[in-house]
Structure 1
Amino acid sequence: MKMNKSFIATTAILAGVISLSANATVKTVDMKPLSEHISVSQYKGNVQSSKELPQITWAEDIRTVLANGSSQSTKNGSVFDQYNLDYKLVLKDSVINQAKDYISGKTPFFRGTLDQVVQLNELVYNDPKLRPVVFNLLSWSKGGDVLVADTSVKQLSDLKGKKIALTAYGPHTFFMWRALKSGGLTFNDVDVVWMKDLLGSAETPANAFCDSQMGVNATFVISPEGSAITEGDNACKNSSVVYGTAQASKVIPDVYVVRSDYYETHKDEIQRLAHAMFVAKEKADEVTKNTKSSEYKTWMKASATQLLGSEDLTEDVKAMFKYDANHAGFAENVEFFTDERAGRNFERVTTEINDALIDMKLIKQRLPLTKATFDWNAFKTGLDHADDVKVSAFNSEVTKKIVSEMQANDTLDDEQFMSEEVKFSAGKSTFVFNPAYHGKVFDKLIDEATTYDSTLIIIQAHSDPSYYLINKFKKKAPESTLKRIRQKAWNLSEERAKEVRRAIIDYARNVRQIDIDESQFETVGYGIEKPKTGICGGEPCKVNKKGKAAKKAYADNRRAVIGFTRIEAEVELSDDDFDF
C-alpha cells in the first residue's frame, strides 16, 4: 500500500510512537486456542438484532461504506436500501470482542480473515446454532500485508531460527505459516512472540520489532506499519520489506459469516446482502473511474471517518482501496465457492488453514466449515458484468520485455524469493516423469502458483558445458565449431524451459484438476552462459576434478530452475495517476 506521510505519522502516534529506545521491553501475550479465552456458555444468547454489521480496518470495508450510502447507518437510496437492508456499520478490529458479540447475539455477523473464522468455528462448534456460515468473499489481500525484517533476512528460507513478532488472533497468522512453508520451513523452525494489538497501542508487532531488547528479527504487519518502520524518522534496524501479499495475493481471504441459526431463518436476507455486495463492487468500479466526482469524494471522506477515525486521512483511504486488495465481486465468489478446479477455492484454502492452525496448536481438530448455499444464477440480475471471463494476469509482451532486460542485466535471480529445480539427462529437452520426485516438486509448484497468482514465475534452463570445454581445450576445435556448440546448447536450454512449463500446466490440469494461468509462466534459456560450475574469464570454468567426479559436477548444470519473483502483474491505473 502506498501511504501518505499523514497516515504513517498517525500510525506511529496511535502506537505510542514506534520506539527505538532501550526502555521497558514491549509486553507479549500467550497465544492459545480461542476456547481458552472465551467461555461460550458465559456469553451465549439469541440474536438480539441484525442491525449491526461489523467492519475491520481494511480496504474492502470501504466498499461496504459505499453500499450503505457513504454513511454509518443505511441511507435512503443506497445499494443496501435498494435491497431492503438496514444496517449500522460498527468498526470492530478485535477478534475477541467480535466473537463475544457474535456468541451473545448482539449481532449475527462476524467479519474477518478466513483463518480467524476457522478459529471461531472450533470455539462454537459444539452448538450447531452458533456455527459460522461463510457467505461472502470480500477480497484477497494484495499489497496490504507485508513481512518486514532486519538485514539477516533476505528471502523466506532465511527466517529459520529467527524471532518473529505477530499479532495474536490477528490477520497474519496463516500468512506467516504459509510464508514459512514457501521457504521450506515449519512453525517449529522459528520463535514467535505474540503481541496484543495490530495497531493503536504500544503492544504491537511493529513496536516489538523496533525494541532493541526484544531481539526480534522479523514481523508481519499491515503495510502502513511496514512503511512506518522502514521509512523516514521511525525507521528502525535498517529494515526492509522482504515479502508481502503483493506477491502472495491468494493467501489472505477476508469474508463475512453469519450464525447458523440466523442463516436458517433469514436466508432471503443473507442472499440479498451477498447480492448487494456484488452490486456495490460494480458500483465502486464505476465511481472510482471519476475521482473528481462529488460521489467519490463523499464516499472516501465517509470511509476515512468510519475506518480511520478522521476525515483528514481521506487520501490514505483512497490508497488503501486502490492498492491493498483484490476486490472480489460476483465472478470471484463463484470461482471461490463453486469451482472445484480453482487452485485456491474455499475447500482447498480451508483445508490448508486447518493444517496451519493445528500445526501451531491454535485449534485441536479439523472441523467442517459451512458455506452458504445460493442460487448463483439469481445474482446475475442487476449485475452488468456477471458473465465476464477472467483474463490473464500478465501481459505476455510486457513481461517478455521485462524478463529480457533483467536477463541482460543479470538481475533475474535478485528478484526471486523461492525456487525449485528439475534435472535433465544429457542432450535431452524432455524428462521422464518420476511421481516420487517430480510429483512432489510439481505439487508444491502448483500450490504456490495458485497462491501467488499475481507473481511471475520464471523458468530458467541451462545446459552442460562439458562438451564445449572438451572441444575447446582437449580437441582444440576451431571457433566456428565452438560457436555452433554454444548455439545448440542455448537451443537445448530454451526447449528445456518450455518443456518444464508445459509439464507443470499439464500436471495441474490433468492430475490436480486445477486450471492455472499460463501467462504467469515465462521461460528463459541460458545455454552454457550461467553454469553452476561458474564462469571464468567469460568462459565456463573447468572444474578442479577428474573422471566421474568431474562428469557429475558438469551434469548438475543440466537443469531448469523455477523461480518465483517479486515481479507483479500489471496494476490498473486511473487518469489521475498520470498527473505528475
Structure 2
Amino acid sequence: MIDDKWDDYTIPSDDEFTMGLDSWIGGTPVLIGLSRGYNDDYSLNLNIKYISADSDRIRALNEGRIHATEMSLPSFMRFQEKYPDSAVIVGITDFSRGADGIVAKSEVKDLNDIEGRRVSYVANGTGKFILNKFLRLVGLRYQDIEPVERENMSEVIEDLKSGYSDLIVSWSPDMNIAVNEINAKKPDSVKVLINTKEVPDLVPTMLVVNRGYAERNPEMVENFLRTWFAASKYIIEKPDRAYEKLAELMSENEEYGPVSKEEVEASFKDIKLMSLNENLEYFGINRGENRIESIINDTVETWKRYGDMSKGFVPSDDVFSAGYLEKLNNDEELLVGVVDTGTSENNPQSEGQKKEFKEQNEQSIEQNTERVAKVDIPPVYYDSGKATVKAESLPVLDEVLDILSQFPEYYLIVDAHTDSVGSDESNLKLSKDRALEVKKYLVQNGVDENRIVARGWGEYRPIVANELTEEDRAKNRRTEFILTREIQN
C-alpha cells in the first residue's frame, strides 16, 4: 500500500513495515518490490509514506512513525547528534556516480581556484557536505570563499544562470539540464568541475531502520531486505523492463510524475544501484575489510571540519549492523553479478575492474591530463641532505594513499622542491630523488606505478623568491601532491 499523505501521522503496528520514501531514484526498488509482490513472497506487510524532507523522515523514524527509510549517509550522520539512537544502518541502496557535483563558470580552472569566488548551495544536507569535502581537500575554509546558502535547488540554479555565482553545488537532473541550457545560449560558458563519478564512494544512500523496531522484529527487517534486494536484482538484470515499469509506477504518483522511460534510464546512469553481492562486500561479510566504517569516519570528519558537527561527537559503535545482511549471505536467489546499471542488458560490465593508467612522463602528464586539485597535506620531512623520508612523515604518505583510494580515476604528480642552499645541480638531483622516494613508498603500498609521476624542481620554483630567513627556506622546501585527470576528447 502507498500512502502519500504525511498528515496521516499514526504509529504503525509491529506486524506491518512502513518505509518513508522521498523522490530519489535510488529508492524506487521498493516500488518494483510492491509491484512484483516480492513483499508477499517474504510475508512482509509493506507500506510506503512519501516524506520529502530528510529532517521530517529522520524525525518520523525516531518517533516510530515509520520503520525504515533511505537517506544519504552525509545527511544521516549529521542527524546523529540530535537523534543518536534513532536508527541503525542495515544496507546501501546506491552510490551517487555522477548524480552530484560542482558546476562552475568556464574560467574556474580547478578546485583550488574556488578561493575568493561566490559559491551557491542548498543550506543543509548532501550539497553542503560535498562542498565541505572539496574545500577540505584543498585546504580552504568558508572564510576563503563567498558562500551563498539557498533554501532549494531552483534558487541555486538561478544563481548560476544569472551569473550571480561563480560555482554551484548541484545534483541531477537539475545539474545536467542547467549546464545544457546555459551552454546552448552561450557555448562553453559553464562546465561540470567535478562530480561523484570521480569520487565513487563519497555519497552512498543508506537503508536505515528504527533501532527499537529492528531489535524487536529482526525477522521483519531481514524480510524487508530480501524484498529490497529481490527488486534491485530485477532492475539490474532486466533494466529495460524495469525502467518501463518504473516510469509507469512513478507517473502514477505526484511525488515523481509524469516520468518517461528515457528519464528513468538517464537517472539510473548517474547512480550505482547496489546488489546484495556488493552490500556483502562493502560490509566486509564476504571478503576483505568493512569499507562502510571508513566511509562513515571520513563523512563525520568532513562535517566536523567546518563546524557542522561538534568536534567531540563520536558515532555509536553500532550505528551500522552487518548482522541482518549476514542472514542473507547464502540466499542465492537474491545474488547477482556485479553489474553497472548504466550498461546495457546484453553487455554487463564489472565495476570492480580497476582503471588502467597509461605510463606518463614529466612532459606527457602536462599534455594528456588536466589539474583537478593541489592537495592540502602536512609537510613531508626528509633526512638532512638525503632523500630518505623521516619516519614521522610516513603517516602523511598514508594520508596520500587514502586520498588516492577516494579518487581512483586520478593521476598523482609528486613535485619536490628545495631551498637555495647548495648548488643548482645538487638541489635538482636531491629534489628528484625525494620525489622518487615518495613514489616508491606509494607503489610499495599498492598504487599503480603508472599512476604517479615524480618530478624534482630543485630551487627553480620557490614560494619565497628571496630567501632571507630559515622560515623562508622552510617554505621553499616542500613536496606537493597534485591530482590530475585525463583530458576528455
Q: One fold, TM greater than 0.5?
A: yes
SS in 2 for 1:194: strand
CA distance in 2, matches of 1:340, 1:377: 9
Q: Which of 320, 334, 356 in structure 1 is aligned with 2:302?
A: 356
Q: Does the 8 A contact of 1:139 with 1:326 survive in 2?
A: yes
Q: Give secondary structure in 1 for the equivalent of 2:236.
A: helix
C-alpha deviation, 1:432, in angstroms? 1.7
TM-score (norm 2): 0.75
* Residue 209 of structure 2 corresponds to residue 262 of structure 1: no
Find out whether 1:450 has 2:416 as its counterpart.
Answer: no
**Aligned AA (2:224):** L
Task: Give 1:239 deviation, angstroms.
Answer: 2.5
Give deviations 1:89-110, integer Å, cap 9, x for gaps.
Answer: 4443312332343344331223
Residue aligning to 1:325: 271
Q: 2:27 is matched with which residue: 54, 61, 67?
A: 61
Root mean square deviation, CA, Å = 4.5
| Aligned match of 1:522 | 451
Q: CA deviation at 1:368?
A: 2.8
Deviation at 1:193, TM superposition (A): 2.6
**1:189 counterpart residue number:** 144
SS in structure 1 of the partner of residue 23 of structure 2: coil
Residue in structure 1 matching 2:172, options 202, 220, 223: 223
SS in 2 for 1:157: helix
User: Within the alignment, does 1:249 sit opposite 2:200 as a pair?
Assistant: yes
Aligned to 1:563: 482
CA contact (8 A) 2:370 2:486 kept: no
The 5-angstrom pairing of residues 352-501 of structure 1 reads 352-364=298-310, 365-369=312-316, 370-374=319-323, 376-383=325-332, 385=335, 393-396=353-356, 399-400=357-358, 408=364, 410-419=366-375, 431-439=387-395, 441-452=396-407, 454-459=408-413, 500-501=438-439
What is the match of residue 263 of structure 2?
Answer: 316
**How far did 1:153 drift?**
2.9
Question: Cα–Cα, structure 1 residues 133 and 98, in superposed 2: closer, same or farther, change >3 Å?
Answer: same
Letter of the 2:392 counterpart: A
Question: For residue 503 of structure 1, what is the aligned residue in structure 2?
Answer: 441
Deviations 1:1-57 (A, max 9, x none): xxxxxxxxxxxxxxxxxxxxxxxxxxxxxxxxxxxxxxxxxx998545744323333
Could you tell me how far apart the structure 1 residues matched to 2:275 and 2:141 are? 34
**CA spacing shift, 1:332–1:211, aligned 2, 3 Å:** same
The 5 A counterparts of 1:196-207 are 196-198=151-153, 202=154, 204-207=155-158
Q: CA deviation at 1:181?
A: 0.8
Distance (whole Å) between structure 2 residues aligned to residue 170 and residue 462 of structure 1: 38
Which of 339, 342, 346 matches 2:292?
346
Q: Is the 8 A contact 2:121 2:156 kept in 1?
A: yes
Deviation of residue 245 (structure 1)? 0.7
Kindly indicate whether the alpha-carbon contact (under 8 Å) linking 2:358 and 2:450 is maintained by their aligned counterparts in 1: no
Q: Identity of paired residues, percent?
A: 16
Structure 2 unaligned blocks of 5 or more: 1-7, 340-349, 467-472
Residue by residue, what CA displacement relative to the aligned partner does 1:305-345 show, whole Å, maximum 9, x if unpaired?
559733443212101112x1223233432343347997883
- Following the alignment from structure 1 to structure 2, what is the Cα–Cα distance between the partners of residues 442 and 307? 51
Aligned to 1:297: 244
Q: Distance in 1 between matches of 2:180 and 2:23?
A: 22
Q: CA deviation at 1:155?
A: 1.6
SS at match of 1:206: helix
Q: Deviations over 1:512-557 (max 9, x none)?
A: xxxxx6459624467x9x88849xxxxxxxxx99xxxxxx9xx97x
Structure 1 gaps, min length 5: 1-42, 69-73, 471-488, 508-516, 535-543, 546-551, 570-580
* Segment of structure 1 superposing worse, 336-345 or 170-179: 336-345
- Find the aligned partners of 1:375 and 1:422 in 2 and give their Cα distance: 44
Q: Of 80, 83, 89, which aligns to 2:39?
A: 80
Q: 1:414 aligns to what SS in structure 2?
A: strand
Whether the 8 Å contact between 1:395 and 1:519 is mirrored in structure 2 is no
1:210 is displaced (CA, Å) by 3.6
Q: 1:157 to 1:141 in 2, by over 3 A?
A: same
Residue 206 (structure 1) shift: 1.6
Question: Does the CA-based 8 Å contact 2:380-2:393 persist in structure 1?
Answer: no
Runs (4+) off by over 6 Å: 234-237, 339-344, 386-391, 420-428, 461-464, 495-498
TM-score by length of 1: 0.64
Q: Deviations over 1:152-172 (max 9, x none)?
A: 532222222333222133322
Residues 54-133 of structure 1 correspond to what in structure 2 (within 5 A)? Answer: 54-66=20-32, 68=33, 74-75=34-35, 77-125=36-84, 128=85, 131-133=86-88
In structure 2, the CA distance between the partners of 1:560 and 1:100, relative to structure 1 (3 Å rule), is: closer
Q: Report the 3-state secondary structure (helix = DSSP H, G, I; strand = E; otherwise coil) of the residue aligned with 1:242.
A: strand
